[in-house]
Each structure stands twice: as structure tokens, then as C-alpha cells.
């Protein structure tokens, strides 16, 4: 709505232009700007935090990978004395003084449930006489396999931890025990009785 004002000098009426912004419109525009600015700043800070976390994860991954590669390149003698509590040690490099690593060696064990799945359940309801010869032979073979695998393959797990943040990263791999020779000592399975023939 246009208002008119009478000029004092000439006595004529002039129209007043009220196309400017009211205080309410300025407040709305300012609040929209601050909302956009707040969202933008929070997304930028999230990006910076994510970048710092990724940088930390990359350092942990590289340290774990270098440590496990050293172990794979020159493995220690794999024996029962390696089965001890997890103990964190310092890295030799001064740049990684806030980081610790731990090595864990375990012989590879195949779960009984997996072994039983190969022989058809593994529950011995029928006893030795009720099982067929093939199942008996398979069980004997799998027991020998399990015994050899436990001594021939070991799992090594490297855990790297940042002492300041508490963030951890781990890698694992398998080592072959070069000192152990695989042996299969299979007892003979009795053959099925022959049925009458010519």
C-alpha cells in the first residue's frame, strides 16, 4: 500500500516508497542464514573428525601390517612356550612412541562341530558296530588330519593400540611350522566279510 505525503515547499502530494525490508523479514533472513551456517559448520567438523579417525586407522593398519610381515618373513620357532598372556610392547621407532603392539600365537584348531559334520553328525548312538566301515575310516582320517593341522599350522594375531586414544587394530595370518613333519598313522579298517560265492 502506497502512502502519500504532502510536500511542505510545493504543497504537492508525493508517494512514499515502502518497498524496503521490515524488521521481521530481516530477522527471518538472518535466522535462516545462521541455520545454514550452523549445518555447514557441523558437517565440516564431522568431516574433519572422520578424516582424523581414518588417519589414525591408517597408521594402526600400517603398523600392524609391518609387524605381521616381519613375523611372516622370519617366524619364531613355533612351540608351546609361545602360548602366553597378551603383553603389549613398545615400537622401536620414536615416531610411534604412543603405540604398543602385542603378538598372540595359537595352534590352529578345527572345531569338533565342523569335524562331526564331515562324518554325518558324530553322535555315537549306534556304537562302533553299527557304523559302516566308510564312516569309521573317515573318522580315523579326520582325527589324524586334526592332530597334524594343530601342530603344523599356527595362527598369529597382531594387535596394535594407541595408548592415548585407546583405539585398537588387529591383523591375523597363518604360519606353517617348518619343524613339524606331517605324518598319517592310520590303523587298518577291517574289511567287510565276503558273502558266499562260487
| Contact call for residues 60 and 162 (beta carbons, < 8 A) | yes
With a CB cutoff of 8 Å and minimum separation 6, the contacts of 184 are 141, 144, 148
For the record, the C-alpha cell of 2 comes out as 502506497
pLDDT score for 63: 92
pLDDT score for 128: 52
Strand partners, 100: 90, 161
Sheet with 168-176: strands ordered across: 89-90, 99-107, 153-162, 168-176
The secondary structure element, H or E, covering residue 33 is: helix 23-73
With a CB cutoff of 8 Å and minimum separation 6, the contacts of 128 are 136
107 three-class SS: strand
d(CA 34, CA 12): 45
Report residues of the chain scoring pLDDT below 50.
123, 125-126, 130
**Polymer length of the chain:** 198
Q: Is the dihedral of CA 92, 166, 158, 104 positive or negative?
A: positive
Q: pTM value?
A: 0.59
Nearest of 151, 164, 169, 57 to residue 102 by alpha carbon: 169
Nearest of 89, 96, 61, 51 to residue 169 by alpha carbon: 61
Beta strands in 9-115 (DSSP E): 13-16, 89-90, 99-107
The secondary structure element, H or E, covering residue 175 is: strand 168-176
pLDDT score for 160: 92
Counting DSSP H helices and E strands in the chain, the numbers are 4, 6
Amino acid at each position: 500500500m502506497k502512502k502519500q505525503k504532502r510536500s511542505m515547499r510545493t504543497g504537492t502530494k508525493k508517494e512514499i516508497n515502502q518497498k524496503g525490508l521490515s524488521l521481521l523479514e530481516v530477522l527471518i533472513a538472518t535466522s535462516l542464514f545462521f541455520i545454514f551456517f550452523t549445518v555447514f559448520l557441523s558437517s565440516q567438523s564431522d568431516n574433519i573428525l572422520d578424516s582424523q579417525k581414518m588417519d589414525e586407522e591408517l597408521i594402526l593398519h600400517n603398523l600392524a601390517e609391518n609387524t605381521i610381515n616381519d613375523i611372516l618373513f622370519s617366524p619364531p620357532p613355533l612351540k608351546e612356550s609361545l602360548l602366553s598372556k597378551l603383553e603389549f610392547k613398545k615400537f622401536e621407532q620414536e615416531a610411534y612412541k604412543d603405540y604398543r603392539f602385542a603378538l598372540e600365537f595359537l595352534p590352529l584348531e578345527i572345531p569338533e562341530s565342523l569335524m562331526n559334520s564331515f562324518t554325518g553328525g558324530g553322535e555315537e548312538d549306534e556304537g562302533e558296530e553299527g557304523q559302516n566301515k566308510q564312516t569309521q575310516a573317515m573318522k580315523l582320517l579326520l582325527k589324524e588330519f586334526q592332530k597334524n593341522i594343530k601342530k603344523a599350522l599356527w595362527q598369529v594375531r597382531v594387535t596394535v593400540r594407541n595408548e592415548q586414544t585407546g583405539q585398537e587394530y588387529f591383523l591375523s595370518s597363518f604360519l606353517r611350522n617348518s619343524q613339524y613333519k606331517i605324518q598319517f598313522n592310520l590303523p587298518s579298517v577291517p574289511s567287510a566279510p565276503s558273502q558266499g560265492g562260487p
